[in-house]
Amino acid sequence: MNNPYEVVPATIYEIIQESPLIRTLRVQPEKPIPFKTGQFIELTIPGIGEGPFTPSSSHFISENMDITIMKTGFVTEYVHRAKVGDKVGLRGPYGSHYPLEKFKGKDLLILGGGCGLAPLRSLFTTLLHEVEDYNSITFFAGAKTPKDCIYKDSVTDWRKYDNVTFMRSVDVVPDGEEWDEEVGLVTSLLSKLDIDTAVNPAVVCGPPVMMKFGTMDLIKCGFREENIYLSMEKKMYCGFGQCRHCVMGEFYACKDGPVFTYARIKNEEDIWE
């Protein structure tokens, strides 16, 4: 990247309302924005503000980008009012990425929930481009209720690969909602895992409480701390280590992360907040 502050104008060409609080913007930047899966960009809503988001599309596509965004506050409220044809700005990419070379030939586990599925969809669809390079890929995806499940339209496609297992779980099924898959916390799916956890990698992303207990459960299952990859969504502004908002002990979440192994950051304070 030459100028880290450069904002590339982009047009929203499609909006997918994934769930009541989550939508995917499909944007076309004026010039391609190459990135590595796991990295993030800063999305600007003109006149309103900007925020960090991980592309949710494959890193093999740089002409268009999908960004999946949960409504949580000021900027994301505006994102949820955006319409097809609106202009936004993108700067980046920033930060570390998933080390695909370490996943090749392995049995990879991907564990996530809520809007944490955004970077995991980017990772997963990137892996699917070269699916034969991985011994197996298991993706456990969680949501609170069936109507909170995202990427519903992709489920059938994601289940068609011989070496891929995609399972979903919801915490509860409220009266009136239909669901014929698993019920329980997404971590309850770990009981179905059939890989050698001592030598294989796992990638985790979700709300802080899920990241924390998910990581502890992975360790109980036998995963090594250095093989557990976390995407840390700390509050950040500049995106490249100038403003210091995202300092985690000796690390900056924006430039040393957002992808860290648990072994690397486990001794820093408040990593789950």
Ligand X SMILES: Cc1cc2nc3c(=O)[nH]c(=O)nc-3n(C[C@H](O)[C@H](O)[C@H](O)COP(=O)(O)OP(=O)(O)OC[C@H]3O[C@@H](n4cnc5c(N)ncnc54)[C@H](O)[C@@H]3O)c2cc1C
In the chain, alpha helices (H): 74-79, 100-103, 117-129, 155-158, 208-221, 262-265
Q: Which of 72, 154, 163, 242 binds ligand X (CB under 6 A)?
A: 72
Q: Which of 23, 97, 168, 234 binds ligand X (CB under 6 A)?
A: 234
The verdict on 53 binding ligand X (CB under 6 A) reads: yes
For residue 110, what is the DSSP state?
E
The verdict on 186 binding ligand X (CB under 6 A) reads: no
Compare residues 69 and 211 and give the one whose CB is closer to ligand X: 69
Q: How far apart are CA 30 and CA 187, in angstroms?
A: 41
Closest approach of ligand X to the CB of residue 133, in Å: 25
Compare residues 67 and 170 and give the one whose CB is closer to ligand X: 67
**Contact stretch for ligand X (CB under 6 A) within 13-21, 70-78, 210-218, 221-229:** 70-78
Q: How far apart are CA 226 and CA 135, in angstroms?
A: 20
The verdict on 258 binding ligand X (CB under 6 A) reads: yes
The verdict on 236 binding ligand X (CB under 6 A) reads: yes
Q: Which two tokens stand for residue 94?
A: 């920033």
Nearest alpha-carbon partner for 260 in 236, 225, 210, 222: 225
* Beta-bridge partner residues of 139: 110, 166
Closest approach of ligand X to the CB of residue 159, in Å: 24
The verdict on 235 binding ligand X (CB under 6 A) reads: yes
Q: How far apart are CA 71 and CA 24, in angstroms?
A: 11
C-alpha neighbours within 13 Å on the C-beta side of residue 213: 9
The verdict on 76 binding ligand X (CB under 6 A) reads: yes
Q: Which of 27, 70, 143, 189 binds ligand X (CB under 6 A)?
A: 70
Q: How far apart are CA 248 and CA 250, in angstroms?
A: 6
Q: Which of 29, 38, 52, 214 binds ligand X (CB under 6 A)?
A: 52
- Residue the block writes with tokens 């014929």: 180
8 Å CB contact between 39 and 54: yes
* β pairing state of 136-143 and 164-170: parallel
**What residue is closest to ligand X based on CB?**
73
Closest approach of ligand X to the CB of residue 237, in Å: 9
Closest approach of ligand X to the CB of residue 37, in Å: 12
The verdict on 40 binding ligand X (CB under 6 A) reads: yes
Compare residues 110 and 190 and give the one whose CB is closer to ligand X: 110
* Contact residues for ligand X, defined by CB under 6 A: 40, 51-54, 68-70, 72-76, 115, 118, 233-236, 258
